[in-house]
Amino acid sequence: MPRLFLKIYLTILASLALLVVIVGVFWHFSSDDGMHHPAVGLVVQLAAAALPPAAAPVADQEQALEELSHHLRADLALYGSRNEFVAAAGHPLPAPPASSNSGDWIGDRHGPAFVFDLPDGRRLVARAPHNTHPPWSLFGFHLLVAAIAVGVAAFPVARGMTRRLEALQTAVETLGAGDLSARVSVSGKDEVASLASSFNRAAARIEELVAAHKTLLANTSHELRTPLARIRLGIELAKQTLDPKRKAELERDIAELDQMIDEILTASRLDTVKDLGPKEEIDLLALAAEEASRFDNCNVGGISAFVQGDPRLLRRMIRNLLENASRHGAPPIDIEIATNGGKVALSITDHGPGIPEAERERVFEPFYRVPGRSAAAGSGLGLSLVRQIARRHGGDAVVSSTADARAQIVVTLPSASGT
Amino acid sequence: MADRILIIEDDPRLAEMVCDYLGEAGFQVLRAATGATGLAMHEARGVDALILDLMLPDMDGLEVCRRVRARADTPILMLTARGDAMDRVVGLELGADDYLPKPFEPRELLARLRSILRRRKASATSRILRFGRLEVDLDAREARLDGEACALTGHQFTLLVALAERAGRVLSREVLMDLMKGEAPEAFDRSIDVHISRIRSVIEDDAKKPRRIITVRGAGYVFAKAQD
């Protein structure tokens, strides 16, 4: 059951319970004060008139009390002016404490009884007819029934209120998970309804922006590469007048610029696009060997291990690892592919100074450079892309430590065979 | 007679340079800066091949491709930005014969252009595996680098096909030997490694730093999927 609903409903129930307790306590203490009412004077006068004087024999008094009890259908007891028992009729009643005043309630567990002081000093104790339950417990019972009725009636109200919030929550989660077309139906005119329509507006705006961003990315990629293609052609056309060494350098510069554009666009694409397109089964050892062939003094070893993934992104990941090792580390670079219980691990080790313990997480942040190292070329996205790509494929990338404190990065990916 | 090529590209400077480059290579080149002009020129003048930019000011390159295909089977080479994997699939589905990402290697543009022209003239069902500037023509049993045939023995060509058909996978020497079974007995008198180094010497730019057939120490060979 949803927590918000429980909270609201339990709050209602707790308020009801508190109300019952407070009302009960007030009732209890206010009724303890007794019956301070003009009616007390009347009862006293009537009783004084109906009873024989105090000097009359006890039998007469008993007789009169019997008659009075019979007419009133009440239990009665008469006490002398020194609070001594004189006579009683009906069920037994508690003796009045000497300190009690006229109109006080002195009820026991059988029910309430009241003390009345007669003008001649005698005291009369009376209990209302057929009222064996204390009045506060009856009142409490009614209070409880009312509280339960309110509590039951509040259930569908609270449920209805939170159901709309739940629908909103589901929509927010769907949006967060990347389905930008998620919307909620708006019903009513309260705050929840206005929140729902705000959400719809925000979601529509996000959808528009992301669509615009995607178009921009595609255009940028094209716009930036057209001049690069021009430069590349220009070099080719100028080959008669160009020194081969200079030409090779220019070609390398273009490749580097092209790569940086690719990295920046890939990073944006990974941030905004949920579905990366078709996946293929890829031999990681073959891919690593292919990429390593672009670098000098780089050894690839291990076993053929297959992963499911986007070939372009995985190629970019391995290339970035190699470039990172050759820029910031020292040759030779070793790549090792191993499998370990449903996972494929690619570890790349170089003979450079290693990565200080404190920097091991930070190297995966975009544009981060290890302090004190030269600002080598690159977009600064290299390792951050490595981790992003690994995570997109259900794996991760971490800096690990080798026995001889060399720089080692390990990428783990789920194996395609699952074993 | 020189092949007539129409380039539909909205960037005038790039179009001009491609013109110059292809002109040097012996082609006759026409230029159009919009999809509409390009389509009109294609209809009026009759061309042997089209080089088509994916992004044009008036319409999508894919749309131009679809319209050309609707009335003619002129070979089409599409220029895209690198990484538009979806565009490539859609472009090829719509009938483009090949695609080349910008910034392209000029020699590769030339090789691909020659390839689509040759294919159009040859049978429509010819099977060619392409890796950058390298083509492995299964029907002609010929490998071509930059459009030039490579000197390989029949046995070496079979070994190259075995590798190329499994590009991107590590193949051990044992697997390669198995794939070569049934071939001429020549297969057994020299080791696989010798054949590989012979193939490398003709298809690699630098046989000492191979990029197409790569050795994986202790495992075997990989034929690179992405070349050039």
Report in angstroms the alpha-carbon separations of B170 from A285, A301, B182. Answer: 7, 11, 22
What class does CATH assign to B4-121?
Answer: alpha beta
Domain boundaries, chain B: 4-121, 142-223
Cα–Cα dist B2/B16, whole Å: 18
Same domain, A223 and A322: no
Is the pLDDT reported for residue B154 higher than 80? yes
Note the pLDDT of residue A376: 59
Q: Which pLDDT does position A35 carry in this prediction? A: 56
Of the candidates B14, B83, B105, the beta carbon closest to that of A230 is on B14
Which residues in chain A have their CB less than 8 angstroms from residue B18's CB? 233
Total domain count for chain A? 3
Cα B61 to the chain's mean position, in Å? 20
Using pLDDT thresholds of 50, 70 and 90, give the confidence band for residue B201. Answer: very high
* Same domain, residue pair A48 and A117: yes
Instruction: Determine phi and psi for A52, rounding to 5 degrees.
Output: -65, 160
Please tell me which of A96-105, B48-57, B91-100 the model is most confident about, judged by mean pLDDT: B48-57
Cβ of residue B225 closer than 8 Å to a chain A Cβ: yes
CATH of the domain at A352: 3.30.565.10
Q: ipTM of this predicted complex?
A: 0.72
B54 neighbourhood in chain A, CB within 8 Å:
222
Provide mean pLDDT across the span B23-28: 91
**pLDDT: which is higher, A316 or B125:** A316
Picking from A86, A101, A132, the residue at the C-terminal end of a domain is A132
Residues A303, A244, single domain; the answer is: no
Residue A38 belongs to domain with CATH number: 3.30.450
Q: Is residue A393 part of a domain?
A: yes
pLDDT at B191 over 90: no
Q: What are residue A394's phi and psi, to 5 degrees?
A: 80, 20
Q: In the predicted model, what is the mean pLDDT of residues B10-17?
A: 90
Answer yes or no: do A37 and A101 share one domain. Answer: yes
Q: Taking CB atoms and an 8 Å cutoff, what residues of chain B touch A258?
A: 82, 103
Q: Which of A230, A265, A293 sits opposite B214 (nearest CB)?
A: A293
Give residue A412's pLDDT: 93
- Could you list the residue range(s) of the whole structural domain that residue A51 is in? 33-132
Query: Among A275, A304, A339, where does a domain finish?
Result: A275
In this structure, the answer to whether residues A261 and A285 fall within a common structural domain is no
Query: Domain boundary residue among A109, A132, A155?
Result: A132
Domain B142-223 has CATH 1.10.10.10: yes
Amino acid A198: pLDDT: 92
Amino acid B57 reads P
Domain-embedded: residue A172: no
8 Å CB contact of B18 and A303: no
Rounded CA separation B222/B171 (Å): 6
Q: What is the distance in angstroms between the Cα of A319 and the nearest Cα belonging to chain B?
A: 12
CA distances from A118 to A12, A75, A79, A149 (A): 51, 17, 10, 46
Strand stretches in A23-133, DSSP E: 75-79, 85-89, 114-117, 123-127
Higher pLDDT, A274 or B196: B196
For chain A, residues with pLDDT lower than 70 are 1-2, 30-40, 109, 128-137, 218, 272-277, 371-379, 403, 405, 418-419
The residue length of chain B stands at 228
Residue B84 with chain A: CB contacts under 8 Å: 218, 221
Cα B75 from Cα B55, distance rounded (Å): 19
Six token digits for residue A18: 């508190």
- H-only helix segments in B122-204: 154-164, 173-180, 186-189, 192-203
For residues A67 and A89, what is the distance between their CA atoms, to the nearest angstrom? 9
Kindly state whether residues A260 and A313 are assigned to the same domain: no
Residue A286 Cα to chain centre, angstroms: 46
Beta bridge pairs of residue A117: A123
Q: Which residue has the higher pLDDT, A290 or B179?
A: A290
Rounded CA separation A155/A157 (Å): 5
Per-residue pLDDT of A94-133, as tens digits, reads 888 877 777 777 777 677 778 888 888 888 888 866 554 5
Tell which B residues from 41 to 60 touch A, by Cβ distance under 8 Å. Answer: 54-55
| A205 within domain boundaries | yes
Provide mean pLDDT across the span B109-124.
Answer: 79
**Lowest mean pLDDT across A90-99, B10-19, B100-109:** A90-99
Verify cis geometry, omega within 30 degrees of 0, for the bond prior to B103: yes
CA A33, CA A102: separation in Å to the nearest integer?
11
Give pLDDT, residue A126. 83
Quick one: A284 and A410 in the same domain?
yes
Residue B27 has what pLDDT?
92
Q: What is the mean pLDDT of residues B10-21?
A: 90
